Amino acid sequence: MINLHARSRRGYPVEGLCILFGRTKQAFYKFNEEGMARRIAGECFAVDFIKEIRTKDHGIGGLKLWYMYQRKFTGEEALGRDRFLEVYRRNGLKLRSKACKPRTTDSTHGLATYANLIRDFISTGPDQLWVSDITYIAIYRSEGGYCFCYLTVIMDAYTEEIKGYNVGDSLDTRNSIFALEMALQNLEDQHEGANHLIHHSDRGVQYASSKYIGILTSRGIRISMTESGDPKENPQAERIHGTIKNEILRACKFHSIDEAEEAIKRAVDFYNNERPHMSVGMRTPAKASKSTGERELKWKSYREYAIKKKLEMNHTENSLPLDIGSSSSG
């Protein structure tokens, strides 16, 4: 009865609908009021849910919020995707974009560097490829102005899981080594070897240092580095920093490195165990770590598409019969 009344642009006369369905006007209006109350309550609940998640991830977007909402709540009263996103926009919860950044990579060091091993590489399981990068985080001084601390992250390229991280007060190599040691400890805790693992990074002095290289080579980990300053050569590592800083920590303002460390610890836990990721089928990295095979991407990776096409072409060329010409015998 309500649906018929709502769907017509001109509307149906209430009296006619009541006669048609054998209901009184009082019953009609009561049902209408109850339905409206349920609708408003459902929308208010969705807004409260979004605000609760935003206390953990200040910059998470609408689609990921929807996946988290429908993963947790089902049934007739749950909002559909389009209505959820409409409520998200109508209540002023849509995000605005943000601005930019100091330099964290010094490649003018004269140390030995390594070739890019992952140009045509696609992971098919956990702990085949780790990517790493360093970013800055502002610390605001009580006397005015600000300085920076630096976050090193090591991420599994297949699961998107943060395997190791460290917050340091400088770009000193020891801070990147702390992140690497955490990642290796996690690998040992899972009783996994590093025989087939590639570590990919930029050519910064931290990653090219003899101590960092020595730890990798002693574990049998192959070393891969970008060959230019193009962020497309290390896109996953660049993207994770954007997620941590401009999404999860979006509204945070730190006044000490201890504050930043505590917030980043919570952010990493949320990122690994609660936040859905489009690169792993809207699962969490923790759940994705239990799987193998081709990743279920919810977006188009032009890099992976180009690699697959190249491999297909190479396979086709290698499958063609050789043209041996008209060689004559005798």
pTM beyond 0.75: no
To which residue do tokens 């005798």 refer? 330
Q: Which residues of 101-126 are buried (b: 16+ CB within 10 A; e: fewer)?
A: eeebbebeeeeebbebebeeebbeeb
Q: pLDDT (tens digit, 0 to 9) for every residue of the chain, 330 residues total? A: 444 444 433 455 656 656 655 666 666 555 555 555 566 667 777 888 888 888 888 778 888 887 888 887 777 667 888 888 888 888 877 776 554 455 555 555 568 889 999 988 888 999 999 999 999 998 998 877 888 999 999 999 999 999 999 999 999 999 999 999 999 998 877 656 667 899 999 999 999 999 999 999 999 999 999 987 666 778 888 888 888 888 888 878 899 999 999 999 999 999 999 999 888 888 999 999 988 888 776 655 656 656 666 666 665 666 555 554 444 444
- Return the H-helix or E-strand segment holding 30: helix 25-54
Tell which residue, 41, 37, 42, 17, has the closest CA to residue 28.
Answer: 17
